[in-house]
Amino acid sequence: MDSPANRVCVVQQKGGVGKTTVAINTAAALNAAGQDTLLVDLDPQGNATEDVGMPEAYEDEPPTLFDCLTDAEQRDAVTDIIREHEEMDVLPSNIDMTAVEPELTLSRRSGEQLNLLLEYVEDDYDYIIVDCPPQLGNLTDNALFACRHVLIPALAESTSKRAFELLYDHIGALETDYEISIEEVGVAINRIDVRKKQAQEMVDWIEDAYPDTPVWRIRERADIQKSLEAGESLLAYNPESDMCDVFEAIATDVAAHFDEAEVWGDV
Ligand SMILES: Nc1ncnc2c1ncn2[C@@H]1O[C@H](COP(=O)(O)OP(=O)(O)OP(=O)(O)O)[C@@H](O)[C@H]1O
Ligand SMILES: [Mg+2]
């Protein structure tokens, strides 16, 4: 690769809205389109690590992602920690990550550690997709600072509006603190049940609030959950699923956002 990887973090402080699902499937769709992609599991829960079928990585002995994030001298160990999945490379989380938030708070440049870490590997990839934990804490701030581009999943419920407001307030504060700018790549409304009216209301609200941002609609599908239980993306598990098109659209729009749409001719 001749240029550093484009980076996107999947962020939403609400739990269980589909961050991990969107991160894995977007990474897989990018990879399927010929883009070398690294999935980073920044969540101490390790769901992405488990959902790509690497539960043993979560139990690995040090050095782990924890050491790379909290000890500058161990940062270069990141290249040994990355594992290969058939659909993408993975920087797995680890049980040690449950202690990372307070540890990061103590460190100098606490919000910049992921950025410094990714500098070691970014030349090997076209895209880096970061799955965030469900809190607006230090880890999510590290992801926002390192990626500067956000993809936001949300459920089609009225409480999601409040979640958006809190998230945008948080991003705005971070932009001011660090003097950076953070762009929305798009919003994925997830687990849509077309029988419920709320879903369309939510989509309308998002499209009104963010007219220039792509809004994708992901339906409730048992195969999405089953694919993750099988340790792979929906695209690998059931290429016939109607939702594969949505994940491919997300990947296409991500690429377009970075102005590389011309490499997407065959998607
Ligand atoms: N569209 C969908 N259809 C069916 N199941 C889904 C869909 N999206 C997500 N799921 C399932 O919902 C659960 C929560 O999804 P996911 O883990 O992606 O959310 P999350 O936002 O990452 O959660 P957390 O906040 O805990 O990190 C998972 O079991 C996942 O398989
Ligand atoms: Mg998750």
Q: Is the pTM of this model over 0.85?
A: yes
- Verify whether ligand 1 is closer than 6 Å to residue 81 (CB atom): no
Q: Report the pLDDT value the prediction gives residue 265, as an integer from 0 to 100.
A: 46
Q: Report the pLDDT value the prediction gives residue 114, as an integer from 0 to 100.
A: 97
Percent of the chain with pLDDT over 70: 96
What pLDDT, in 10s, does the model give residues 200-256? 888 888 889 888 899 999 999 999 999 999 999 999 999 999 999 999 999 999 999
Q: Report the pLDDT value the prediction gives residue 2, as an integer from 0 to 100.
A: 57
Query: Ligand 1, residues 43, 225, 241: which to mutate, most atoms within 8 A of Cβ?
Result: 225
- Verify whether ligand 1 is closer than 6 Å to residue 225 (CB atom): yes
What pLDDT, in 10s, does the model give residues 150-187? 999 999 888 888 999 999 999 999 999 999 999 999 99
Lookup: tokens for 224: 């999405």
The neighbour count for residue 247, using CB atoms within 10 Å, is 27
pLDDT at 262 over 80: no
DSSP 8-class letter at 98: G
Cα separation, 72 vs 179, in Å, equals: 24
Q: Report the pLDDT value the prediction gives residue 196, as an integer from 0 to 100.
A: 80
Q: Report the pLDDT value the prediction gives residue 201, as an integer from 0 to 100.
A: 85
Q: Report the pLDDT value the prediction gives residue 260, as an integer from 0 to 100.
A: 54
What spacing in Å lies between the alpha carbon of 262 and ligand 2's midpoint? 31
- Measured from the Cα of 21, ligand 1's closest atom is 18
Nearest CA to 151 among 47, 262, 255? 255
Hey, whose CA ends up nearest to atom 3 of ligand 1? 220
- Verify whether ligand 1 is closer than 6 Å to residue 224 (CB atom): yes
- DSSP states along 121-151: TGGG-SEEEEEPPSSSSHHHHHHHHHH-EEE
Helix (H) or strand (E) holding 64: none
Strands 127-131 and 37-41, bridge-based pairing = parallel
Respond yes or no on whether the N-terminal peptide bond of residue 62 is cis (omega within 30° of 0). Answer: no
Q: Are 91 and 65 in contact (CB under 8 A)?
A: yes
Hey, whose CA ends up nearest to atom 11 of ligand 1? 225
pLDDT at 263 over 60: no
pLDDT at 6 over 90: yes
Q: Which residue has the tokens 């941002």?
A: 213
Q: Are 208 and 200 in contact (CB under 8 A)?
A: no
Mean pLDDT computed over 190-208: 85
- Measured from the Cα of 220, ligand 1's closest atom is 3
CATH number assigned to the domain covering 6-256: 3.40.50.300
What pLDDT, in 10s, does the model give residues 32-68? 999 999 999 999 999 999 999 999 999 999 999 999 9
What pLDDT, in 10s, does the model give residues 73-122? 999 999 999 999 999 999 999 999 999 999 998 888 999 999 999 999 99
